[in-house]
Amino acid sequence: MYSYDLDGIQIYSSDLTELRGYLLNSLVNSGNSKLIITFNLEFYRNATINKDFYSVCRNADLVIPDGISIIHFLKLKYNKRLTRITGNDLFRLILSLGTTLPLKIAFVGSTDKVVEILKNKVPLDYPGCKIVAAISPSFLFENNEEENNRVLQQLIISAPDVLFLALGNPRQELWLNKYKEQIGSKLNIGVGAVFDFYSGYKRRSPKLLQKLALEWAWRLLHEPRRLSKRYLVQGIPFYIKKSLQIILKNGKKS
């Protein structure tokens, strides 16, 4: 896989076949606990204002382009169009590896209702996957030492091969980076709202909107209170600013 730099963060170019090989190799041959980040515009913006999160993104084992904005930035900077791989794609791809080798899976995040659906649905859809932990902690549990230790100990005892954490960025990546070695999980991925989509608790956008890179608009339509600030107030100005910076830098080089 080739990597492309965005402000010091290496974004890797891959298709699903190549990524599948990387994941299998990490599960079978790697002794390290790997952190994988699905990088979108909100991740990029947070990385510019949160130095700890920026450091985690810079040092992650694999950063893949999730948002269409990241694809656009790389196209502007390098004249290369990378394949977009979403958190939903990565989630299902990893679970599908259970057909090749048995996998112990841990889920942390979302609500009790969603976690219960995951516990029942995943083994049916992916028989090679064994759910060894499914935890719905309280909001900001990581700030409560007692609850944080309880979640951590449960994960250590369950010894998952793969840990999916759904807290939203940057919380999920910061937590995984801090504890992944202690837990010993081989693959560690922050998945945001993926649990909600997979369980059916939230409806993902129609395929046409996904192809047109308008999934963000669908989510905004359905969750305007929660997402208006993220997408309209913070996201669009940041997108315009970064696009102009890349264009101006390219102009100076030429």
d(CA 124, CA 122): 5
Residue 254's pLDDT is: 56
* Domain residue ranges of the chain, discontinuous segments joined by +: 2-204, 209-253
d(CA 180, CA 231): 30
Name which of 142-151, 176-185, 193-202 the model is least confident about: 193-202
Distance of CA 203 to the CA centre of its chain: 18
81-117 pLDDT, tens digit each: 999 999 999 999 999 999 999 999 999 999 999 999 9
78, containing H or E segment: helix 68-78
Question: What percentage of the chain exceeds 70 in pLDDT?
Answer: 98
pTM over 0.85: yes
114-149 pLDDT, tens digit each: 999 999 999 999 999 999 999 999 999 999 999 999
d(CA 177, CA 27): 18
Residue 12: HSE in the Cβ half-sphere, 13 Å Cα cutoff: 19
The whole-chain average pLDDT of the chain stands at 93
